[in-house]
Amino acid sequence: MNIKHFIKTITAIAVLGTSQAYAAGELNLYSSRHYDTDERLYANFEEQTGIKINRIEDGADKLIERIKAEGANSPADILLTVDAGRLWRADQAGLFQPVESEVLIERIPEHLRHPDGHWYGFSQRGRVIFYDKTKVDPKDIQTYESLADPKLKGLVCMRSAGNIYSLSLLASIIDAAGSEGAQKWAQGVWDNRARDPQGGDTDQLRAIVSGECAIAIANTYYFARALRTAVKGLSEADIKNIGWVFPNQADRGTHVNISGAGVVATAPNRENAIKFLEYLASNQAQEYFSAGNDEYPVVQGVELSESVSKLGEFKVDKVNLSVYGENQREAQQIYDRVGFK
């Protein structure tokens, strides 16, 4: 084979590889969801539509940077993340395009989607107050604001200030109480800490079991998972000793976060991407979010899994989740000012 023929052959192979990624019957999904149970979710879509899903999985921030670096040639059709804050970051970077879909508008509540259809939420989890039943009266922790009460000094555990869940929670409090009220809250919670922030949500629950904390903030699906299956450091007896409160039920409702997705601005398979979003809003997919990963559906009337049903339904704070991103920088500044690590 001469050198010219060799170069033509290599070029043809490269073009073939590219054309496969952009084929009409495919969907290129960039996802920061890392749950094994999602395999069935994707398989169902492929079976129903004949559209093959090509997945790239990584942390949300890395995927955002990857799409930005790929530019106009990015094969990404969908970016799927596990929190509203990063959806906002991606949107600010210009990575999403507006999607008009009667299915999505009808089925996804307004506060769980971008005002212009840049992204949609497909599963949700409440940010709940958990407590040691032997040490805490639930009447004392009915609101997020109550966690700043000096009588809870030395009892509260929370994730680090830089964690996206902590930033989103404080962003929602800025919206509800203003900057001054939010800073007062952050200062009070920091003063009431049982230990400096460390670990993930499940570690906060384990800290209640170990006695390091009597109160902790965590997402519902971590606890629901422990109700359903064995989780290291959380025995059945341990679980029975942990109670939970859905905060602010008498006023604005409990803070929620989402897994959500949007169609990438340069998506080569736009129609397939919209079909995928509409599939995620179907009853079948919504039930699977609940049964497979212990999350709350976003579509009204969809049956909850057994584990999620044990936690119960609750009044949701219906502030549009775009607020989490809009107030994210100020939330970090407030945490920094009060010395919240």
- Segments in 211-320 forming alpha helices (H): 220-228, 236-240, 270-280, 283-293, 306-311
Gyration radius of the chain's alpha carbons: 22
> How far are the Cα atoms of 41, 48, 83, 159, 202 from residue 165, in angstroms, in the given order?
25, 34, 8, 8, 13
Could you tell me which of 276, 216, 268 has the C-alpha nearest to residue 242?
216
- The answer to whether 327 touches 175, Cβ cutoff 8 Å, is yes
pLDDT in tens, 25-59: 999 999 999 887 799 999 999 999 999 999 999 99
pLDDT at position 24, please?
Answer: 57
Number of H helices, E strands in the chain: 14, 9
Q: Which amino acid is at 332?
A: Q
pLDDT at position 20, please?
Answer: 42
pLDDT at position 17, please?
Answer: 40
224: tokens are 């629901």
> How far are the Cα atoms of 32, 148, 207 from residue 215, in angstroms, in the given order?
29, 12, 9
First to last CA, the chain: 63
**Ramachandran region of residue 279, left (φ > 0), alpha (ψ -120 to 50) or beta?**
alpha
pLDDT at position 13, please?
Answer: 31
123: tokens are 């599963």
Q: Which amino acid is at 274?
A: I
Give the start-end residues of each E strand in the chain. 26-31, 52-57, 78-81, 120-132, 156-157, 215-219, 242-245, 256-263, 296-297
pLDDT along the chain (341 residues), means of 10: 37 36 78 88 96 97 98 98 95 97 98 97 98 98 98 98 97 98 98 97 98 98 95 95 98 98 98 98 96 96 96 97 96 98 95
pLDDT at position 8, please?
Answer: 35
Backbone angles phi, psi at 315, to 5 degrees: -80, 130
pLDDT in tens, 274-299: 999 999 999 999 999 999 999 999 99
Q: Which domains are delineated in the chain?
A: 25-124+257-303 (3.40.190.10), 125-255+322-337 (3.40.190.10)
Nearest-angstrom CA–CA distance, 243 and 191: 23
The SS3 of residue 151 is helix
